[in-house]
């Protein structure tokens, strides 16, 4: 699942992860993502989450997802322009597994997904 | 603002070049050239407000042509297919990414607002403030500018 209020950024991330054989569901903010999660038949393996979004921001989404046992299997990766150490700590403390700072290259996303064990080493976007 | 905490034009150049290399010039064929254009343009201005220990705006300004080319590059389409909504989304995201990186150079704590895009912003009151730094460049032969404006605490950022 790709969660970002920018259609351009969702498209960039979609291109990268579809190149890694993921099917993609998109949401424009955390609230929309929560709604999509309740509609989906299975829990997504991975969520790529922006921080600054209207309605429900990325940190609030991470907190909400982590409060529901149903979504325990979903890997949460923040993909955000919030680069201060304190913000990274907050996101990880709330339950995010990994953190990528914008601007990123496709290889940066691939490296994180390899590290998380979601794709094999040597995969290319 | 403390001199040690102020971003500089060099900081803006470094951030902008990283953003261009990641999203707008991935194949190295459309580089952002750090040369001031003959004439700057505020046809399209995208900005994000920073609030907290520091108060102001981080702005990306460019010509209408450059804004369409940027949207086309980000969205993987031709410039003549780009809608006004596409330009708003693309330029807003560029301002968001640049703004977040600039925020990390400012006093903490600060929060980043959501992007806002203004057209024909030459005399827009939104752009009133003290300019802290600026980076002027040419992209695809068009003017492009990144700047940071400080506003009085309690002043309007959006």
Tell me the pLDDT band of B153, cut-offs 50, 70 and 90.
Answer: confident
* CB contact (8 A) between residue A82 and residue B100: yes
Sequence-ordered list of residues with C-beta below 8 angstroms from that of B3, at least 6 positions apart, any chain: none
* CB contact (8 A) between residue B23 and residue A12: yes
Residue to mutate among A59, A81, A107, with most B CBs inside 10 A, is: A81
CA-CA distance, A15 to B80, in Å (whole number)?
Answer: 22
In tens, the pLDDT along B70-120 reads 999 999 999 999 999 999 999 999 999 999 999 999 999 999 999 999 999
Q: Tell me if chain A has a CB within 8 Å of the CB of B96.
A: yes
> Which residues in chain B have Cβ-Cβ distances shorter than 8 Å to A12?
23, 74
State the smallest CA–CA distance between residue A18 and chain B in angstroms. 15
Q: What is the mean pLDDT of chain B?
A: 93
Sequence-ordered list of residues with C-beta below 8 angstroms from that of A77, at least 6 positions apart, any chain: A46, A47, A48, A49, A96, A97, A98, A99, A100, A112, A113, A116
Q: In degrees rounded to 5, what are phi and psi of residue A47?
A: -125, 130
| B22, B86, B90 member nearest A103 (Cβ) | B22
> Which residues in chain B have Cβ-Cβ distances shorter than 8 Å to A102?
22, 96-97, 100
| B22, B93, B114 member nearest A8 (Cβ) | B93
Write down the pLDDT at residue A123. Answer: 74
Write down the pLDDT at residue B157. Answer: 63
* CA–CA–CA angle B85, A14, A108 (5° rounding): 115
Write down the pLDDT at residue B11. Answer: 98
What 8-state DSSP symbol labels residue B53? Answer: S
Q: Which chain A residue lies closest to B112 (C-alpha atoms)?
A: A52
Q: Tell me if chain A has a CB within 8 Å of the CB of B83.
A: no
* pLDDT-flagged residues of chain A (< 70): 124-125
CA-CA distance, B136 to B61, in Å (whole number)?
Answer: 10
Per-residue pLDDT for B152 more than 90? no
State the smallest CA–CA distance between residue B5 and chain A in angstroms. 14
* CB contact (8 A) between residue A6 and residue B100: no
Q: What is the CATH number of domain B9-22+41-150?
A: 3.40.1550.10
Is A88 within 8 Å of A119 (Cβ atoms)?
no
Write down the pLDDT at residue A121. Answer: 87
> Which residues in chain B have Cβ-Cβ distances shorter than 8 Å to A54?
114
| A11, A103, A105 member nearest B97 (Cβ) | A103
């Amino acid at each position: 699942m790709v969660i970002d209020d920018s259609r351009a950024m969702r498209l960039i991330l979609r291109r990268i992860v579809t190149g890694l054989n993921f099917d993609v569901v998109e949401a424009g903010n955390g609230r929309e993502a929560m709604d999509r999660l309740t509609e989906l038949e299975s829990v997504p393996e991975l969520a790529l989450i922006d921080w600054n979004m209207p309605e429900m921001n990325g940190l609030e989404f991470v907190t909400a997802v982590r409060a529901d046992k149903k979504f325990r299997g979903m890997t949460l990766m923040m993909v955000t322009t919030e680069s201060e150490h304190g913000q990274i700590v907050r996101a990880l403390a709330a339950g995010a597994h990994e953190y990528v700072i914008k601007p990123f290259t496709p290889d940066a996303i691939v490296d994180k997904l390899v590290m998380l064990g979601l794709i094999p080493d040597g995969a290319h976007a | 603002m403390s001199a040690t905490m102020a971003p500089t034009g060099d900081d803006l150049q470094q951030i902008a070049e990283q953003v261009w290399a990641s999203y707008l010039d991935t194949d190295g064929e459309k580089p952002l050239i750090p040369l001031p254009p003959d004439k700057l343009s505020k046809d399209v201005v995208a900005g994000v407000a920073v609030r907290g220990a520091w108060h102001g705006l981080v702005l990306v300004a460019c010509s209408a042509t450059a804004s369409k080319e940027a949207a086309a590059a980000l969205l993987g389409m031709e410039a003549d297919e780009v809608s006004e909504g596409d330009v708003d989304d693309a330029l807003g995201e560029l301002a968001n990414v640049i703004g977040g990186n600039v925020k990390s150079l400012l006093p903490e704590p600060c929060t980043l607002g959501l992007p806002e895009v203004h057209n024909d912003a030459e005399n827009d009151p939104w752009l009133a403030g003290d300019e802290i730094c600026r980076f002027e460049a040419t992209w695809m032969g068009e003017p492009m500018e990144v700047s940071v404006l400080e506003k009085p605490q309690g002043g309007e950022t959006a």
